[in-house]
Amino acid sequence: MTDRYPTLSRSTYDECLYIGWIDGQLFIVLIYVDDFIVACADERSRARFHTDIMSTFQATYSGVLNQFLQLKVDVQTETLPTGESYPTRIELSHERSITDLCAKFSIDTDKQPPRSPMTEGLSLPIPPPDAIDRSIETPLRSLIYSLLWLARTVRPDIYYHVTYLAQFCHQPTVEALTAAKRILHYAYSTRDYTLAMWLLPRSPCGRTKSAIWSYHEDHCSDNLIGHLP
């Protein structure tokens, strides 16, 4: 990426994230295997970037970003008197992932859901050797890691509870697994929760709007998919 676009610099925080300026516009490019998400403040600059990429790689373009790594992306737009549309609100949710996880870990979603991610005042001691159950180590790890993905992306409300239970990944107990399943059940009951960002249109004084685009590569070829208006 930096070879073709030297003005983009790889982030020191995430090696898949590139930030820089192209055509005088701030660009943010996120790459995951063969998927791309591109954010920039100007549609014309985005279009030129897209045309340049398409002229270099065999690619297909999918339109507006609506899903990425099982994240649902809901974009609400408005139209200016000039006819230009812009996003006013972007919402991210994990409803599909949460529903799939409930099926995987046999959560009875018909039961009364918990009112909080964790029982108030819950304190699980470091288990003695005879309380460790290695037979549940793999499912507990899988559930904790899945919950961490939810917490780190769009569900910060369960982050503390999940990281607390993470200490039991190598010392699995039935109590820890039960507590982790409670968090998942709570997440299911609140699966309509979203992480939202409100955006402003370009103003006469030069305030810039925000925009997000997504790209995807087909097998054996480089392909672009998606953009926000």
Residue range 75-106, pLDDT digits in tens: 888 877 777 667 788 889 999 999 999 999 99
Burial of 60 (0-12, 13-18, 19+ CB in 10 A): middle
Helices (H), the chain: 43-56, 95-104, 137-153, 159-165, 174-189
**What own/partner pairs with CB < 8 Å and gap ≥ 24 does 125-134 have?**
126/167, 126/171, 127/168, 127/171, 127/173, 131/173, 132/171, 132/172, 132/173, 133/172, 133/173, 133/174, 134/172
Write down the pLDDT at residue 189: 96
d(CA 144, CA 165): 7
Write down the pLDDT at residue 47: 80
Write down the pLDDT at residue 148: 96
User: What ranges do the domains of the chain cover?
Assistant: 8-93+194-216, 106-189
Residue range 2-60, pLDDT digits in tens: 566 777 889 998 889 999 888 787 888 888 887 778 887 777 777 888 888 777 777 66
d(CA 38, CA 124): 43
Q: What are phi and psi of 24, to 5 degrees?
A: 75, 5
Which region among 36-50, 106-120, 160-174, 191-205 has the lowest average model confidence (pLDDT)? 191-205
In the numeric block, the tokens 């709570």 are attached to 186
In the numeric block, the tokens 């516009």 are attached to 25
Q: Find the mean pLDDT for residues 137-149.
A: 96
d(CA 192, CA 39): 25
Which residues, including other chains, have CB under 8 Å from residue 104's CB and lie 6 or more apart?
none
d(CA 43, CA 79): 14
Write down the pLDDT at residue 202: 52
pLDDT-based confidence at 1, cuts 50/70/90?
Answer: low
Across the chain, mean pLDDT equals 81
d(CA 74, CA 91): 5
Which region among 62-76, 99-113, 170-184 has the lowest average model confidence (pLDDT)? 62-76
Tell me what percent of the residues of the chain surpass a pLDDT of 70. 81
d(CA 44, CA 54): 15
